[in-house]
Amino acid sequence: MNSYHLALLPGMPGQGEVLIILFVILLLFGGKKLPELSRALGRSLSEFKRGREDSSKESLPDTAKESLPDNNAGESEEGGKNA
């Protein structure tokens, strides 16, 4: 399949549409606000992924939970980091 056929797929924005969308975002939020927005979006996505992983761990049986690596292995029971 060549690039001409890929452009004809429904629901896929082309290069022109992507540029227009980026230009409109730049006009709406301004150049100074874009880094803050992208940082907030990145944090939101990481929270979503973390929540999804936590919920999948909770839905596993107890034997499967024990075999998964613990992300908090470096922390003590008091919540502080081990030296």
State the pLDDT at residue 32: 87
Helix, strand, or coil here: 4? helix
Rounded-to-5 percentages of helix, strand, coil across the chain:
65, 0, 35
Which two three-digit tokens encode residue 64?
């499967």
Cβ neighbours of residue 60 closer than 8 Å, sequence gap 6 or more: 68
The model's pTM is 0.44
Confidence of residue 44 (pLDDT cuts 50, 70, 90): very high
61 — alpha (psi -120 to 50), left (phi > 0) or beta? beta
